[in-house]
Amino acid sequence: MQNDVTRRQVLRGGLGMTGLLLAGCTTTTKAPVPVQPQPVVDKNFVLNYGSMPTEQFPLPAIDPRVLAPEFRRQRVSYRTQEKPGTLIVDTRNFYLYLVEPSGTAMRYGVGLGRQGFEWSGRANVAWKRPWPTWTPPEEMIARQPELEKYSAKNGGMQAGLGNPLGARALYIFQNKVDTLYRLHGTNEPASIGKAVSSGCVRLINQDVIDLYDRVRSGASIVVS
């Protein structure tokens, strides 16, 4: 009887030890949380499209998600018979090229005029303006009477982030006559690569600033 009790105690003890051993194999430590990789920072994008706090009206940075890589400013190989310094607007592909020597060009993505307001031809950049006043033409005011407050007689819309001409404007003349079309900035980066404006060629504000600094007044422009 005593031996049976002893054996039962040993068995209980053995079971207890097994339980302890099994318990020793478990852990209450939480599984490690996978470290999420940091997004790759495109230093060139930040350089070209970062914020510009020293502008007259400080410009915010552009979100890379709204500007497709093919429409970002870049130097490309480009063969043309046009002279260096000429601007060429490729309306089919929504590109603007500034011709450079040695078979290259600075290429910018642009937004263009929607159907019915396109313009094409050969002209010149008559002059350039930083943070220009916007004066809608009479034809536009006739279609949109609410723009009357920005007419020439009322002094136009003053410069600012909400001004449709953006940070810079290049004024296009043909045979010394104002075509009323402009190369200008925009605060709507998602419109690049689309036909949305009333005939003008729009660029991201950071791009039109870069273009403005490279183009001389009187430069030729070809839109086709």
> Could you give phi then psi for residue 155, rounded to 5 degrees?
90, 0
C-alpha distances out from residue 84 to 81, 211, 221, Å: 9, 14, 11
* Among 89, 183, 192, 200, the one annotated catalytic: 200
Positive/negative CA dihedral, 159, 197, 99, 222: negative
Helix (H, G, I), strand (E, B) or coil at 71: helix
**Catalytic member of 73, 107, 184, 202:** 184
Indicate if 198 belongs to the active site.
Answer: no
State how far the Cα of 132 lies from the Cα of 160, in Å rounded to an integer.
Answer: 8
Cα torsion through 37, 42, 43, 44, rounded to 10: 170
Query: What is the spatial distance between Cα 56 and Cα 221, in angstroms, rounded to a whole number?
Result: 28
Q: Residue 125 and residue 105: Cα distance in Å, rounded?
A: 18
For 88-102, give one letter per residue: b (16+ CB within 10 A) or e: bbebeebbbbbbbee
Q: Is 89 a catalytic residue?
A: no
Q: Which residues are known to be catalytic?
A: 184, 200
